[in-house]
Amino acid sequence: MLNNPSSYWNPILETLPQEKLQVLQLKKFKRLVGWAYNNSPFYRRFYQEAGLEPGDIKTFEDIRKVPKIEKGMMREVQQREPFPYGDMMTAPLEQVTAFRQTSGTTGIPVYQACTWQDWEWWAESWCYILHAQGYRDTDRVFIPFGYNIFVAFWAGHYAAEKLGCEVVPGGVLDTQSRILKMQELKCNAFMATPTYVLGMADTAVNKLGIDPVKDLNIQKITCAGEPGASIPTTKKRMEDAWGAKVYDHIGITEVGSWSYECTEQPGGQHVNEAFFLVEIEDIETGEIITEPGKEGKMIITALDRMAKPCIRFDSKDVIRWADHQCDCGRTFRLIDGGVVGRADDITKVKGVLLAPTAIEEVVRSIPELGDEYEVVVSKKGDIDNILLKIEILPGKETEQESILFRLKDQLRVKTNLGYKIEVHPYGSLQRYEVKAKRFKDLRKKGG
């Protein structure tokens, strides 16, 4: 248990007892619904159609009466004025100071408007993350990110500045230039997707002859965008490759950065329950899950995001409450293992439920395999087939038979499925710089 107030970004909120956190959440939720009802044409219409008025929310349980919103609705409202955000907005366009959008990997991108206050709020949320991960004013932080229309590490940049860190924007530099700049400036932290963390290490070793553990000064890495840093075998690969601590955090463009791992690395992530309300809903029954260990999809509310409120958003992310508390002393609850899947990614193959993260966990557990892999699910007649493409590390090719035996065995144990394995030459599978798309379901249109 940490008991020094400086261990926390805000000890008032981060150590608030759970019952008081719930009182705070209800107070904020009521304020937000009232604000949205009175200022957003979409929310007023939506709640009136559901027969709900802000005054109907009196208890914590009443929150569940409030209808959920989905990504599809956010796309639809964009057809309305004001362009390009639609009538979910509560603030006039004159107050909007930044545009962001979702990546659009699941359809038309959702556009997000930030006022300066909302942007300060994004950075504030990230301050909780970075402070909990040990970032301080003595750190020189490199951000190898394309600084574009996606929110990604923008707020991480602003938050690191707010914490007093010295921030080095990696911007349009290519991977090799980024590594050399990190080396030259003796940067001790950086932020990237797990895919890129591994890709940078690979480039350092194989293109520059730089050993990240010995030749660079990186002590901590903050990941986002993919679940890898919460998958133990992938986290270990990253930590081994860089000789650094790797921490995860989860954010959603439409919502905000709602959870984070602290330096205790408790096998899960704290939900920032002072800024967000997270509910877990049983995928089949729709009942709210409060007990630990049971998976469901996350319904999330950003309690203080005002210009384009996000109230009871059906995120489709599958999570579960942890059954233990963290030694760091934060009272914010833990979710076990981060986001363990997506309700729309968990797919039935040969009648068995398959989560792509389970395949990653197995591939990354075999040290002779490269970091890249690809899964292709197809159907021939009535039969589903799973093809797993892998790379074997240089110098390990002679061990192929033993590697494949272990790989198939572990896949069968972890996923209850059989796979066709294709071994590709090292370096031939696609490399990604941001989010990887390694799971392809050809049975789905556009899959």
Partner 1 sequence: MSDWKIDEMCELIKQMRQLTEDLKEKSGNIQAVERNSDRILANIKMLELNTTDVLDIFGGRS
| 274/328 with CB nearer partner 1 | 274
For residue 283 the two structure tokens come to 């995928």
Helices in 265-393 by DSSP H: which ranges?
Answer: 356-363
* CB 255 to partner 1: min, Å: 16
Tally helices (H) and strands (E) across the chain: 12, 21
| 28/320 with CB nearer partner 1 | 28
| 299/303 with CB nearer partner 1 | 303
Q: What residues pair up with 319 in beta bridges, in sequence order?
A: 296
Task: Confirm if 333 and 311 have CB atoms less than 8 A apart.
Answer: no
* CB 20 to partner 1: min, Å: 5
* CB 310 to partner 1: min, Å: 16
| 327/344 with CB nearer partner 1 | 327
- Name the 3-class secondary structure at 433: coil
Interface ranges with partner 1 (CB under 8 A): 3, 5, 10-13, 16, 20, 23-24, 27-28, 115-117, 119-121, 124, 274-275, 304
| 333/389 with CB nearer partner 1 | 333
| 248/304 with CB nearer partner 1 | 304
Q: Which residue has the tokens 């008991």?
A: 3
| 303/436 with CB nearer partner 1 | 303
**How many Cα atoms within 13 Å fall on the side-chain side of residue 302?**
24
String of DSSP letters for 243-300: TSEEEEEEEETTTEEEEE--TT--SEEEE-TTTEEEEEE-TTT-PEE-STT--EEEEE
* CB 271 to partner 1: min, Å: 16
Q: Which residue has the tokens 């990941």?
A: 223
Task: Confirm if 202 and 194 have CB atoms less than 8 A apart.
Answer: no
For residue 97 the two structure tokens come to 């100071």
* CB 406 to partner 1: min, Å: 50
